[in-house]
Amino acid sequence: MTDDLELPGVVRVVLVDANVLYSRVLRDYLLYSADEEIIAIAWSREILSEVTEHLVANVAGFTVESGARLATAMNRAFPYAEVDPAPEDHERLSGLVLPDEDDRHVMVAAIAAEATILCTANTKDFPEDVAERLGVEVMTPDALLSVLIAEYPVQLLAVHATSVARLRGATDASTIAALERAGAPIAAARMVPLLESAGIALD
């Protein structure tokens, strides 16, 4: 998959997979990027259910109720983000083969959202030939955030500042470290000189 996005300056509709929304720092960076209106963000109820399932299984103290509150907060903040795929959305994917059929609902959601970008950590599950036929670009969160940092540095500084401010105990340095651990090392590296240019030291 390519790391480049076309049409600089045009707001892209980004369907975000559960494996990206699972990460607090990736979720924050993308949600706050949508707040900055440099992307439009989308998901489905099934994707949010997967997020809750994995958080309950892997994060101590996170419950089904916690997941419901998270989903409600996300949908309240972005009331047009959740898509409900129609039969014709499923039909567009009919006859196309995916490596993991469990991921079919993600691509169908991207179709329903009229997404130009499908942001996922598992790009191998969405073959380029299938994605291209549907008009969808498949990108990792690292690739997507790296491009947004390059194109919208002022907005990404605001995204970072909000991410730090809204997580108790977070610092600039801990947030950049979390971004790297979450599988976005290129984006993390690109944020460092951006922060330094704004007078924010990480050491």
Q: What is the mean pLDDT of the chain?
A: 92
The model's pTM: 0.92
| Residues whose CB is less than 8 angstroms from the CB of residue 102 and which lie 6 or more positions away in sequence, other chains included | none
Distance, CA of 111 to CA of 176 (rounded, Å): 32
What pLDDT band is residue 10 in, cutting at 50, 70 and 90?
Answer: low
Residue-by-residue DSSP string for 71-137:
HHHHHHHSTT-EE---HHHHHHTTT---S-GGGHHHHHHHHHTT-SEEE-S-GGGS-HHHHHHTT-E
Q: pLDDT value at position 201? A: 84
Q: Tokens for 174?
A: 């801990």
What are the strands of the beta sheet with 82-83, ordered from one edge?
A: 82-83, 39-44, 12-16, 117-119, 137-139
Q: Is the pLDDT confidence value at 133 over 80?
A: yes
| Residues whose CB is less than 8 angstroms from the CB of residue 3 and which lie 6 or more positions away in sequence, other chains included | 139, 143, 146, 147
Q: Which of 6-10, 30-34, 142-146 has the lowest mean pLDDT?
A: 6-10
Q: What is residue 5's DSSP assignment? A: -
Residue 104: Cβ within 10 Å count: 15
pLDDT (tens digit, 9 = 90+) per residue, 75-122? 999 999 999 999 999 999 888 888 888 899 999 999 999 999 999 999
Q: pLDDT value at position 7? A: 39
Q: What are phi and psi of 44, to 5 degrees?
A: -120, 170
The H helix count followed by the E strand count for the chain is: 11, 5
CA-based radius of gyration for the chain: 17
- For CATH 3.40.50.1010, list the domain ranges present in the chain: 12-141
Assigned architecture for domain 12-141: 3-Layer(aba) Sandwich (3.40)
pLDDT (tens digit, 9 = 90+) per residue, 24-76? 999 999 999 999 999 999 999 999 999 999 999 999 999 999 999 999 999 99
Per-position b or e across 157-195, b if 16+ CB within 10 A of its CB:
bbbbbbbbeeeeebebeebbebbbebbbebbbebbeebb
